[in-house]
């Protein structure tokens, strides 16, 4: 199961999403694959945040791209709506902090999603170059992913890192674009998948579906042709039985 499961934003079922301590917990548990999201602050610091604003995680409705890092770092990032004050001591994690953490687990691999909102704010080259520079020392552990097609084209021109395209929609146009890009991975929201009767597109890529949180859903997605699954409950799924045909470790 470790070979097919990805810790989606760490383990949001147990820790605030994209938190240092959440990633540390799953890596200590032996997780092989993690996924996170990167936004850029007003002063050019790459931080882990899915949303363009910090409202959900900090309670403060600040736009990451319009706010300097020092002001973001001062905020409590404990996702109070979900966890109350349990994690009030946590702060927004920087990308370089995650890179340092990854060095302690050289067998782990990270899918780093560069968010479209930051690309719109600062441009493809500035954002991608910044992310790649931060990750240089752990580049063998990294796959760059994004909804933003142009960011992936630029990444491929700039470096040899594997890339993954997060599909904005299941369509004939995007199938053609996937063939043009030839990414190493295609990510798809489970809600955007076609009917079960329709097979996933053939190609050089591996399929990743998100988000799968119940053990009884794993085998059906594998049978549909999905290669990997993102989950918010990775330790719970790893503790369950492996689907038939998949290794238990």
* Per-residue pLDDT reduced to its tens digit, 212-237: 999 999 999 999 999 999 999 999 99
Q: Topology of 5-239 in CATH? A: TIM Barrel (3.20.20)
Name which of 236, 194, 195 is nearest 212 in CA terms. Answer: 236
Bigger pLDDT: 249 vs 170: 170
pLDDT of the residue at 78:
97
Assign 44 to helix, strand or coil.
coil
pLDDT of the residue at 224:
95
Please give the average per-residue pLDDT across 41-63, as a whole number. Answer: 98
Handedness of CA 220, 223, 229, 235 (dihedral sign): positive
- From CA 145, how far away is CA 37, in angstroms rounded? 9
Indicate the pLDDT class of residue 69, thresholds 50, 70 and 90: very high
176, with CB counted inside 10 A (0-12, 13-18, 19+), is exposed
- From CA 202, how far away is CA 190, in angstroms rounded? 18
pLDDT of 249 over the 70 cut: no
pLDDT of the residue at 1:
87
Indicate the pLDDT class of residue 245, thresholds 50, 70 and 90: low
Indicate the pLDDT class of residue 240, thresholds 50, 70 and 90: confident
180-210 residue pLDDT tens: 999 999 999 999 999 999 999 999 999 999 9
197, with CB counted inside 10 A (0-12, 13-18, 19+), is exposed
248, with CB counted inside 10 A (0-12, 13-18, 19+), is exposed
- From CA 33, how far away is CA 29, in angstroms rounded? 11
Please give the average per-residue pLDDT across 12-21, as a whole number. Answer: 97
Q: To the nearest whole number, what is the mean pLDDT of the chain?
A: 96
Please give the average per-residue pLDDT across 147-164, as a whole number. Answer: 98
Name which of 21, 25, 27, 22 is nearest 12 in CA terms. Answer: 22
pLDDT of 143 over the 90 cut: yes
Handedness of CA 99, 167, 5, 153 (dihedral sign): negative
pLDDT of the residue at 246:
55
pLDDT of the residue at 114:
98
98-138 residue pLDDT tens: 999 999 999 999 999 999 999 999 999 999 999 999 999 99
């Amino acid at each position: 199961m470790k070979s097919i499961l990805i810790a989606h934003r760490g383990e949001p079922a147990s820790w605030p999403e994209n938190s240092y301590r959440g990633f540390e917990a799953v890596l200590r548990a032996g997780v092989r694959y993690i996924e996170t999201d990167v936004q850029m602050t007003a002063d050019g610091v790459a931080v882990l945040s899915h949303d363009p604003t910090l409202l959900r995680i900090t309670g403060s409705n600040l736009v990451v791209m319009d706010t300097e890092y020092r002001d973001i770092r001062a905020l409590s990032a404990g996702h109070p709506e979900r966890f109350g004050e349990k994690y009030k001591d946590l702060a927004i994690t920087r990308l370089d902090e995650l890179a340092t953490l990854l060095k302690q687990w050289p067998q782990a691999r990270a899918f780093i999603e560069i968010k479209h909102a930051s690309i719109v704010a600062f441009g493809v080259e500035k954002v991608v170059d910044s992310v790649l520079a931060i990750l240089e020392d752990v580049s063998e552990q990294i796959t760059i992913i994004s909804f933003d097609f142009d960011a992936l084209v630029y990444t491929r021109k700039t470096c040899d890192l594997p890339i993954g395209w997060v599909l904005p929609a299941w369509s004939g146009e995007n199938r053609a674009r996937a063939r043009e890009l030839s990414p190493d991975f295609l990510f798809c929201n489970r809600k955007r998948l076609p009917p079960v009767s329709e097979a996933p597109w053939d190609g050089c890529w591996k399929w990743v579906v998100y988000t799968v949180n119940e053990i009884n859903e794993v085998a059906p997605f594998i049978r549909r042709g999905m290669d990997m699954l993102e989950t918010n409950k990775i330790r719970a799924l790893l503790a369950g039985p492996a689907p038939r045909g998949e290794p238990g470790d």
